[in-house]
Structure 1
Amino acid sequence: MPDFQVILADLGWPLAIALAWLLGEFIHRWTQLPRISVYGIVGFLLSQAFPESLTSGASSTVTTLANFAFGLILFEFGYRINLRWLRINPWILVTGLVESAATFGVVYLIATLTGMPSLTSLLLASLAMSTSPAGVLRVINEQNSSGQVTERVLHLVAINCVLAVFVFKVVVGFWVFETSGSLTQAVSHSLIELLVSAAMGAILGFLVPAVLRRLGALAQDGTIAFALGVVLLVAGSSAFEVSPVLATLTFGLAARHSRVAFSRTERNFGGIGELLTVLLFVFAVSTLEWDRVVAGAGLGMVLLLARFLVKTASVTVFAKVGGISWRKGMLTGVALAPMSVFVTLLLEQTRYMGIVLVDELAALAAMTLVLEVLGPIFTQRALIWAAETTKKEI
Structure 2
Amino acid sequence: MTDLLVISDELAWPCAMLLAWLAGEFVHRWTNLPRISVYGLVGFLLAQAMPELLVPDGSSQVTLLANIAFGLILFEFGYRINLRWLRVNPWIAVSGLAESALTFGAVFLIANWQGMPPLTGLLLASLAMSSSPAGVLRVINEERSSGQVTERVLHLVAINCVLALFVFKVVVGFWVFQTSGSLTQAVSRSVIELLASAVLGAVAGMLVPALLRSLGTLSRDGTVAFAMVVVLLVSITQAADLSPVLATLTFGLTARHRRVTFTRTQRNFGAIGELLTVLLFVFAVSTLDWQRVVFGASLGLLLVLVRFATKTIAVAVFAHVAGIAWRKGALIGIALSPMSVFAILLLEQTRYMGIVLVDELAALAAMTLFMEVLGPIITQRALILARETAKEEG
Counterpart position of 2:370? 370
Aligned residue in 1 for 2:34: 34
* Contact 1:223-1:263 at 8 Å conserved across structures: no
In the TM superposition, what is the alpha-carbon distance from 1:3 to its structure 2 partner? Answer: 4.9
What is the match of residue 269 of structure 1?
269
Shift of 1:218: 1.2
* Structure 1 runs, 4 residues or longer, greater than 3 Å off: 1-6
* Distance in 2 (alpha carbons) for counterparts of 1:249 and 1:329: 25
Amino acid paired to 2:240: F
- Residue aligning to 1:132: 132
Segments of 5+ residues of structure 1 without an aligned counterpart are none
Pairwise CA distance, 1:295: 0.5
Aligned match of 1:156? 156
Match of 2:6 in 1: 6
Matched residue SS, 2:259:
coil
Shift of 1:9: 1.5
For 1:2 and 1:237, the matched residues in 2 are separated by 36
**1:4: how far off?**
4.1
Distance 1:2 1:241, change over 3 A: closer
Is 1:302 paired with 2:302? yes
Which residue does the alignment assign to 2:200?
A: 200
| Alignment match, 1:100 | 100
1:86-116 deviation digits (Å, cap 9, x = unpaired): 0000000000001000000000000001101
The answer (yes or no) to whether the contact 1:166–1:190 under 8 Å persists in 2 is: yes
Alignment of 1:231-246 (within 5 A): 231-246=231-246
Structure 2, unmatched stretches of 5+, are none
Counterpart in the other structure of 1:72 = 72
Mapped partners of 2:287, 2:4: distance in 1:
24
Distance apart, 1:391 and its partner CA = 1.9
Q: Given that residues 312 and 332 in structure 1 are in contact (C-alpha distance below 8 angstroms), is that contact kept between their aligned partners in structure 2? A: yes
Cα distance in 1 between the residues matched to 2:174 and 2:199: 23
Q: Which amino acid in structure 1 is aligned with residue 149 of structure 2?
A: V
- Matches for 1:322-333 after TM superposition, within 5 Å: 322-333=322-333
Partner of 1:230: 230
Aligned AA (2:115): G
Cα distance in 1 for residues equivalent to 2:312 and 2:355? 33
Residue deviations 1:146-198, cap 9 Å, x none? 00000000000000000000000000000000011010110010000000000
Matches within 5 A, 1:171-210: 171-210=171-210
Look up the equivalent residue of 1:115 and give its one-letter code: G
Q: Which residue of 1 aligns with 2:349?
A: 349
Instruction: Give distance in 2, aligned partners of 1:74 and 1:344.
Output: 15
Looking at structure 1, the residues matched to 350 and 14 of structure 2 have their Cα atoms a distance apart, in angstroms, of: 26
Inter-partner Cα distance in structure 2 for 1:115 and 1:234: 37
Residue 219 of structure 1: how far off its partner (Å): 1.1
What number of residue pairs does the alignment pair up?
Answer: 393
Residue in structure 2 matched with residue 211 of structure 1 by the alignment? 211
Partners of 1:88 and 1:143 in 2: CA distance: 28
Q: What one-letter code is carried by the residue in structure 2 that aligns with 1:243?
A: S
Shift of 1:2: 6.3
| Distance in 1 (alpha carbons) for counterparts of 2:187 and 2:3 | 49
**Given the two structures, how large is their TM-score scaled by the length of structure 2?**
0.99
Q: Distance in 2 between matches of 1:322 and 1:387?
A: 19
Aligned Cα root-mean-square deviation (Å): 1.0
Question: Secondary structure of 2:330's match?
Answer: helix
